Amino acid sequence: MSILEVNHIEKHFGATRVLTDISFSLEQGQALSIIGSSGSGKTTLLRCLNFLERPDHGSIAVKGNVIFDANDPKTQLESEIRKKRLHFGLVFQNFNLFPQYTALQNVTLARELLAKERGGESKESIQQAGEELLARMGLADRVGHFPHQLSGGQQQRVAIARALALHPDILCFDEPTSALDPELTGEVLRVIRSLAEQKTTMIIVTHEMAFARDVADQVIFMDSGVIVEQGAPGDVIDHPKEERTKQFLSRYAND
């Protein structure tokens, strides 16, 4: 059984249709890269999965449970959405760290709030888990730093630790290196690569073609809100069948 099944998702903003009949599935422990030019709907798709946008049609199932169905209002209750969001983690293009909290506090805040509601974990164990996560990101010496004291690459690694702290089933990345200086993209990509090696289930929207090919088990190419081509990276990136995919990839080849 797939961990994620997306069926016939459609999304409009007013009269503009940004996503049309999007369907795909993802297996546990796999990484999916979504590529495509700006405005192709990649980010909107991620935002739909994270309930930041509500699709107008279609359904989303995680581990076989339908968590969203556009035809079933019962799946769209505000109170339920909060819980369902936790199936997904999202790493933003612009990090969106909380500026008034240290790196460690950014990582622990949400988990502490959840623990306060549900009981269970002690503050100490959450802190320790947070420190371990930051150490995994190579930031053991930065736990007490505030976001403005960190480089973009470090901030993005804190953001990854923050998303991981809640143990999402699927971790989503929305162009995680697009806001970084070129010399800082490497450290973030390395972290994502190591997550892939540890079989973290991930969806990565990216413009880094070489990275997408290396790290992904599956690649989706989107254009104008539709999935043009999907399959193994060796097929989609190295031997694209569709004309639009070829055109898109040739722009990267020339860079």
Partner 1 sequence: MLIPVTLSLLEGMGTTLKLFFLTLLFALPLGLVISFGSMSRFAPLRWLIQTVVWIIRGSPLMIQILIIFYGPGLLFGLPLLPRFTAALVAFVVNYACYFSEIYRGGIQSVPRGQYEAGQVLGMTKPQIFFKVTLLQVIKRIVPPMGNEFITLVKDTSLVRVISVYELIWMGESYIKKGLIWPLFYTAVFYLILSGILTILLNQMEKKLDYFQ
54 binds partner 1 (CB under 8 A): no
- Strand locations in the chain (E): 4-13, 16-26, 31-35, 57-62, 65-69, 88-91, 170-174, 202-205, 218-223, 226-231
Residue at token pair 């699709």: 55
Residue 135 burial (10 A CB sphere; 0-12, 13-18, 19+): middle
How far apart CA 239 and CA 43 sit, in angstroms, is 25
Find the shortest distance in angstroms from Cβ 89 to partner 1.
7
Q: Examine residue 36 and tell whether it contacts partner 1 (CB under 8 A).
A: no
Q: Output 74 or 148, the one with its CB closest to partner 1.
A: 148
Residues 211 and 209: their CA atoms lie apart, in Å, by 5
Q: In angstroms, rounded to a whole number, what is the distance separating the alpha carbons of residues 75 and 29?
A: 26
| 102-131 binders of partner 1 (CB under 8 A) | 109-110, 113-114
Selected from 65, 98, 128, 251, the binder of partner 1 by CB under 8 A is 98
Query: Out of 85, 190, 193, 207, which residue is the one contacting partner 1 (CB under 8 A)?
Result: 85
Q: Say if CB 208 and CB 5 are below 8 A apart.
A: no
Quote the least distance from Cβ 48 to partner 1, whole Å: 12
Report how far residue 162's alpha carbon sits from residue 130's, in angstroms, rounded to the nearest whole number: 8
Query: Could you tell me the smallest distance in angstroms from the CB atom of residue 168 to partner 1?
Result: 9
Stretch that binds partner 1, among 19-27, 137-145, 160-168, 209-217 (CB under 8 A): 160-168
Query: Using CB under 8 A, which of 96, 127, 178, 230 touches partner 1?
Result: 96
Residue 147 near partner 1 by CB under 8 A: yes
Question: For partner 1, which is the closer residue by CB, 120 or 186?
Answer: 120
| Residue 172 beta carbon to partner 1: minimum distance, rounded to whole angstroms | 9
Which residue matches tokens 């549900």?
Answer: 118
Nearest Cα to Cα of residue 236 among 45, 39, 34, 43: 34
Interface with partner 1 includes 45 (CB under 8 A)?
no
In the complex, the residues that contact partner 1 under the rule CB under 8 A are 50-52, 82-83, 85-86, 88-90, 92, 94, 96-100, 109-110, 113-114, 146-148, 162-163, 166
